[in-house]
Amino acid sequence: MSLDSLAHRWYASEGSRSPLLLLHGTGGDEDELVPFAQAAAPGAPMLAVRGAVSEGGKLRHFARHPDGRFDSSEVVRRADELAAFVAAARDRYGFGPPLALGFSNGANIAAALMLLHPALLTGAILLRAVPPLTGTAHAALVGRRAVVVSGETDSIAPPALGADLTLCLTKQGAEATHHVLPCGHDLTPADVTLARDWLSSLAEGAPAGPASSHLIRP
């Protein structure tokens, strides 16, 4: 796949941080998560990708059925396309396997990437995510790490679905944890702090701990 297939921005870095793959939510674009990523992982190289699907004029990474249900075949197709794009970007820009940072629809496509292309990512920060696929065979995720972050009052991506996704990743061998913050579907400073601390634990080699769901209050 050509790099021209998806609009994106590449932020190079001279540091040693792991590269991040930024995947925005519905209605966002490739710039949406850049400030978040810069705060959570200062100096990290970043590949920020714009979704290629428009839903009511709002950009997304995959289309849905008119009633909002996910179309598994569409999710798989878009995840395959994104995986091929990331591989092409790695060849062009010369970076190693990235860690995904996704919000909402971007977190859902990042989860699909983990499940369908386990060698593509080293792990993922999945903000306001739900299980993207059902009835699809997934590859083993041994050695991959993920953190799923839900909002306590989020009606779009309820904490129960975040817990389901965490369990799905864990069953495939990933080291996944689930956190619930006292907020809705919006991103908050607490998300940045949690992501920064989680990334620091990766750099220090700390164990991820068992899959769990717990509410974090300031």
Residue 216 has pLDDT above 60, yes or no: no
Lowest mean pLDDT across 12-21, 34-43, 110-119, 135-144: 135-144
Q: Are 82 and 106 in contact (CB under 8 A)?
A: no
Helix/strand/coil percentages in the chain, nearest 5: 35, 20, 45
Phi, psi (rounded to 5 degrees) for 171: -60, -25
Residue 67 annotated as catalytic = no
Of the candidates 8, 154, 178, 179, the residue annotated as catalytic is: 154
Residue 154 annotated as catalytic = yes
User: What digits encode the pLDDT tens for the residues 88-143?
Assistant: 999 999 999 999 999 999 999 999 999 999 999 999 999 999 999 986 667 789 99
Residue 185 annotated as catalytic = yes
Q: What is the pTM of this model?
A: 0.92
Amino acid, single-letter form, for residue 64: R
Of the candidates 8, 104, 150, 178, the residue annotated as catalytic is: 104
Return the DSSP state at 136: -
Residue among 144, 182, 187, 188 nearest 166 (CA): 144
Rounded CA gap, 160 and 209, in Å?
20
Of the candidates 117, 185, 201, 213, the residue annotated as catalytic is: 185
